[in-house]
Amino acid sequence: MRKGYLLVEMIVVLLVLVMVLPILERFFRTFIYDLPRNSRLVQESRILNSVSDCIRADVVSAKALSVSDGNSAEPASLLMETPNGIVSYKFSDGHIFRSSPDIAPGDIKWTIPHGRINWRVWNRDKTGYAVEISTYIEDKALGHTRKKMANSFLFFTGIAPEGAE
């Protein structure tokens, strides 16, 4: 029986572990950190897309668009004059509210903690005829903030402006 053989085996096993652990660390980080984070980002992107679909449906049926300037107590709103009444969207950090006269119990609220939505109303003769919307998910990883899953949309009202093609 050789007495030093077990010690040599242990040193070889430790050397193999030192080479294998960095590979396993990436593998475990992917399953423990990256997959849940990416799943959350995809879920928030789906919610933003459903909000965009709802805005598109309202804009298509709208006669005119306008924007209310927000003050410190109230966020800025996107207003749409539809045949059923005024539909408004209020965008604040992490929340989007839709209020409409055709909804009896109240507003629809979407919660998107990392979702961001920006809009710009296109005007002609002081009447809004289209809205440009950009959405993205704000992802903070390793001290950097990145825009992920960015989308841009341009929706026109049902009444096209005169002279437009």
| b/e code 2-26 from CB counts within 10 Å (16+ = b) | eeeeeeeeeeeeeeeeeeeeeeeee
SS3 content of the chain, % helix, strand, coil (to 5): 35, 40, 25
pLDDT at 91 over 90: no
Higher pLDDT, 164 or 149: 149
What pLDDT, on a 0 to 100 scale, did the predictor assign at position 153? 92
The domain spans of the chain are 20-156
pLDDT at 70 over 80: no
Q: How far is CA 152 from CA 117, 118, 132, in A?
A: 10, 9, 7
pLDDT in tens, 99-152: 887 665 557 888 888 888 888 888 888 888 899 999 999 888 778 888 888 999
Encoded tokens for 85: 């009444």
**pTM, entire model:** 0.72
- Helical (H) or strand (E) element with 50: helix 35-61
Work out the mean pLDDT of the chain and round it to a whole number.
82
